[in-house]
Chains A and B, each alone.
Chain A
């Protein structure tokens, strides 16, 4: 017997967070900045850890670290001598280590470290859901308002410039929205699940469709399915909730990828 009343708040919180992450994640995957989001998520976790260690507001330190990381993004993009991935990989490793060191040295209890890094969805409260709701509304409002120029400047920034679209400003807005979203999600659901939402459902969606708008709908749906299955499984088998949901974001890909492959093969055959 599944106690739906008890699981309603965790499922609601996860669904709100996943709606925004799975939407923005489509751009994260298409813009090839998956490692940027991973590094920013870990930096946010390190920021929370520092806040706990110094006994200052962890929200402020979380955002300070993410914003600091964001300042490096344009510099990384200009770097020619080494690959962008290697710099982001280094940033990720350092941020993850710092997060663990800070939390280990903080007066707070050990389970806090796990909650920051891996999240604890089952204990999500109404306050968490409300905060996530506000950030999701902010994220989707900006993205839907700027949908067309954002798509154009992501796909072909030079052409966008010839139309008078300010691509650098749009890039700045995109990264700020991403940073705010990651910052809030880390506190609520942990760095691991935030990263999983930003990558796996969008990846599944992009494998399944040739239509840009459908990719968002599929990505969000995959996130929702993963949430429900993950939280129920986590409750039923007494597993850590956020990692279980993160693992379940792979489920739609496993189930749907063979179908997509089959349909592509059929298309190829009919074209011949």
Chain B
């Protein structure tokens, strides 16, 4: 799918990409164009290959076949990556601001001290996600939602072109999940940040994303949200019958009883 609209320009293009680890092929024939201003929801069951696709887009994993091209006006795409919260070890005695400042570590000058600009950027990012008052609190003492905000602040502090989030609402209660989705959507609109959002829950993302990629059975099917959220497409992707309801102007996918 190509970028359309005057403002939309391609940021990342994946052409006929195969991804996997060693002999284990996880995804085949991936064709995907991430455009500036996109909010892409990558949806699929656990273990379907969403994280694998994110890793390839983030240059952490080389394609087995095909190619991925990164385009940006200044020659470098800056990714703000929000990993799965559960993968971070809480043994580390770090405060919220310690974690946000990690985004300012220089690969070229590892010995460089954090400047006042770095600290200001970290504080600004914490303000943006609404937890500026928790800057010095130990990360491990924060709630799930607050930890997620810290990780989003860290990604934001990179001043990214693309915000890449891997299952950011996992294990959160309903109000916190809603608050995190609203936060991401606000950052997307106010800062014109392109968003790639991976989740195993279709309903979490369908009311925010302009495009949906369904990752299932080794393939990625991508299209606009209205194209993808149809009974036919969902049957094709998941092999199940669904009902698409609208409640208070919001779409909701329900599985039909067999």
Contacts and interface: CB of A to CB of B under 8 A. Distances in A.
Given A155-B94, A158-B81, A163 B138 contact: no
A162 B81 contact: yes
B117 interface: no
Contact of A158 (B60, B92, B107, B111): B60
A149 B105 contact: yes
A209 B107 CA distance: 28
Nearest to A170: B110
A174 to B, nearest CB: 13
A146 interface: yes
Contacts of B89: 30, 32, 155
A76 interface: no
Contacts of B174: none
B81 A159 contact: yes
Contacts of A210: 93, 95, 138, 140-141
Interface string B137-172: 010110000000000001000100000000000000
B126 to A, nearest CB: 17
A237 B143 CA distance: 51
Contacts of B59: 161-162
Interface in A28-82: 29-30, 32
A156 interface: yes
B93 A156 contact: no
B83 interface: yes
A214 B93 CA distance: 9
B91 A163 contact: no
Contacts of A145: 110-111
A156 B83 contact: yes
A165 interface: yes
Contacts of B105: 148-149, 152, 160, 163, 165
Contacts of B99: 155
Interface in B95-137: 95, 98-99, 102-103, 105-107, 110-112
Contacts of A209: 93
Nearest to B58: A162
A155 B102 contact: yes
A143 B106 CA distance: 16
Contacts of A164: 107
A146 B88 contact: no
A206 interface: yes
A212 B81 contact: no
Interface string B48-80: 000000010011100000000000000000010
B91 A212 contact: no
Nearest to A159: B81
Contact of B110 (A30, A149, A162): A149
Interface of B: 55, 58-60, 79, 81, 83, 87-89, 91-95, 98-99, 102-103, 105-107, 110-112, 138, 140-141, 154, 158
17 contacts: A146-B111, A148-B111, A149-B110, A156-B87, A158-B58, A158-B87, A159-B81, A159-B154, A162-B81, A163-B103, A163-B105, A209-B93, A210-B93, A210-B138, A211-B95, A212-B93, A212-B98
Interface of A: 29-30, 32, 145-149, 151-152, 154-156, 158-166, 206, 209-212, 214-215
Instruction: Sort A-B residue pairs by CB-CB distance and give the 4 closest, nearest first.
Output: A164-B107, A210-B138, A149-B110, A162-B81
